[in-house]
Structure 1
Amino acid sequence: MLLLLPPSETKVQGGTGRSLLLGALRFPELTRVRSRVIAALLELSADQEEAVTALKLGPRGHGEVAINRAVRRSPTVPAIDRYTGVLYDALDAGTLSETARDFAARHLVIQSALFGPIGALDPVPGYRLSHSSKLPGMRLPAVWSAPAGAALTAVGGLVVDLRSEGYAELAPISAPERSVYVRVVSVDDTGRRRALNHFNKKTKGLFARAILENAEDFDDVEDLAAWGDAAGFTLTPGAVAGEWDLLVPAAASAAAASPTAASRPA
């Protein structure tokens, strides 16, 4: 089984590991493509103004260009510990059990725009690049799609895809009979469903954490859905073939989105 997650623009900086070693990353067959994308990022980063524009950085993000310039020599941390933000805060990798982290090492893959798909415990440096970023002479979907998609498809087994659409395009799975794309939707008392934004990421993080802590290699989505029901996650077929909806009660998502929710007494 593969559990696929998107990365995050926000990341922990610094690190404790040695500098980037492409050969240490999962899917070594992607090393040549990774080198090309890194070279393009370094070329872009040589021009501060051009890089700020291409990476769509606000005034507070200009320092990200210097971080990109140092991507080959800066210290690393495991990928699952590098990313922050709503999804990764909910995943809370630092508090995962040893069994869960071991399961993540074998089954969790994060879709990076810079490195392609990487293993949860792969050592990676800080960087800034998203699926929609523009690099000199290349379009990221065109560069990554075929080789990264083939690498993921070759793994075999059930693929549980929690990536956003933009990152899924960087490595499409060519095995629809054993892959499931999960969308987080709210459902009200009438059964009406609608897509979520902020709560989508939180729910995916909680769902991924539960799967890792459960540490079961599911054979198919029906087995995953049956486990989900017992674990408090409702997973049902979506409106499009190959897609499943992870349901969140409308009242729960509305409460979580409320600006005053955090200040209410527990």
Structure 2
Amino acid sequence: MLLLLPPSETKRDGGVDASALDLAALSFASLTPHRKLVIAGLKGLSRSVGGSMEALSLGPTQRGEVDRNRAVSRSPVMPVLERYTGVLFDALGAGSLTAPSREFAGEHLVVHSALFGLLGGNDLIPAYRLSHDSRLPGLSLRRHWRDTITATLALEPGLVLDLRSDSYAALGPAPSSVVPVRVVSQDSRGRRVALSHANKAGKGSFIRAVVEAGVDHASVDSLLQWAGTAGIRLERAEAGLDLLA
């Protein structure tokens, strides 16, 4: 079972002393050539502060993001699940998991990055700034990643749950074998509406519950049975699963 997550715009600073990015050590090794091209494009862009600020939609106080990108190949690295911050990752709270739960998270959580493509939870990455809609010279992130990510996901043999945002799903549409999960609210008439900001916290809490339970579900039926016993309102929907907030 894999749980596919979006990344976060915000990243934690720092990393392991005297460490640096090792592309050969990342999960999903078939993506290495694609990663190299995006990294080269990001480094090229970072030569121009003004160009980077515009292409990455950065404000005046975010000048430091350009410096991060310039040093992306030599700056310290830390695990993916510790690097990303923000609402979803704060709700997941990887840093406060027990050792067994943290090990389970590292094995079963995958983050879809605009820079690296698919990343395992334990992969070691530097801080960087690149979003799904960033513009790199001569390289469209959507065209670059779209078919490759879809094909890679199609090769996964077990249950894959897609908790990405629409914007990251567009960088690699899920094949039919992948099960989308959306966070919804339900009104008095039973109508369901997908949530926006609150969905990140809902996804983070759901992921933490799955990780703490430590069950490698082989099917949707198994996941639904567990959710019912765990007090989680997870139900089949027309296009996957609905997580009721």
> Same fold, TM exceeding 0.5?
yes
Q: Structure 1 residue 102: deviation in Å?
A: 1.5
Q: Aligned partners of 1:22 and 1:197: how far apart in 2?
A: 34
The corresponding residue for 1:259 is none
Question: Which amino acid is 1:103 matched to?
Answer: F
The corresponding residue for 1:79 is 80
Q: Structure 1 residue 229: deviation in Å?
A: 1.9
The corresponding residue for 2:65 is 64
Deviation per CA, 1:27-63: give whole Å up to 9, x if none. 1111111000000001111111011011001122121
Q: Structure 1 residue 83: deviation in Å?
A: 0.4
- In the TM superposition, 1:98-113 aligns within 5 A as 98-113=99-114
Question: Which amino acid is 1:105 matched to?
Answer: G
Q: Aligned to 1:194, what secondary structure does the other structure show?
A: strand
Between 222-231 and 77-86, report the one with greater CA deviation: 222-231
Q: Aligned partners of 1:28 and 1:158: how far apart in 2?
A: 20
Q: How many residues align?
A: 244
The corresponding residue for 1:235 is 234
Q: Aligned partners of 1:100 and 1:172: how far apart in 2?
A: 29
Q: Aligned partners of 1:198 and 1:105: how far apart in 2?
A: 25
The corresponding residue for 2:122 is 121
The corresponding residue for 2:224 is 225
Q: Aligned partners of 2:98 and 2:35: how far apart in 1?
A: 31
Q: Structure 1 residue 192: deviation in Å?
A: 2.1
Q: Aligned partners of 1:9 and 1:223: how far apart in 2?
A: 33
TM-score by length of 1: 0.88
- In the TM superposition, 1:194-233 aligns within 5 A as 194-233=193-232
Q: Structure 1 residue 84: deviation in Å?
A: 0.4
Deviation per CA, 1:222-241: give whole Å up to 9, x if none. 22122112212211222x43
- In the TM superposition, 1:1-266 aligns within 5 A as 1-16=1-16, 18-174=19-175, 176=176, 178-238=177-237, 240-241=238-239, 243-248=240-245
Deviation per CA, 1:102-138: give whole Å up to 9, x if none. 2122211000100000000100000000111111111
Q: Aligned partners of 2:224 and 2:167: how far apart in 1?
A: 25
Asked if the contact 2:180/2:241 (under 8 Å) is kept, the reply is yes
Question: Which amino acid is 1:6 matched to?
Answer: P
Q: Aligned to 2:77, what secondary structure does the other structure show?
A: strand
Asked if the contact 2:82/2:94 (under 8 Å) is kept, the reply is yes
Question: Which amino acid is 2:6 matched to?
Answer: P
Q: Aligned partners of 1:22 and 1:100: how far apart in 2?
A: 26
Q: Aligned partners of 1:171 and 1:22: how far apart in 2?
A: 20
Asked if the contact 2:162/2:174 (under 8 Å) is kept, the reply is no
Question: Which amino acid is 2:116 matched to?
Answer: F
Instruction: For structure 2, list consecutive stretches of 5 or more residues without a partner in the other structure.
Output: none
Instruction: For structure 1, list consecutive stretches of 5 or more residues without a partner in the other structure.
Output: 249-266
What fraction of aligned residue pairs are identical, expressed as a percent?
51
Q: Aligned to 1:89, what secondary structure does the other structure show?
A: helix
Q: Aligned to 1:210, what secondary structure does the other structure show?
A: helix
Q: Structure 1 residue 74: deviation in Å?
A: 0.2
Shift >6 Å, 4+ stretches = none
The corresponding residue for 1:263 is none
Q: Aligned to 1:19, what secondary structure does the other structure show?
A: coil
Q: Aligned partners of 1:121 and 1:89: how far apart in 2?
A: 17
Question: Which amino acid is 1:40 matched to?
Answer: G
Deviation per CA, 1:75-100: give whole Å up to 9, x if none. 00000000000000000010111111
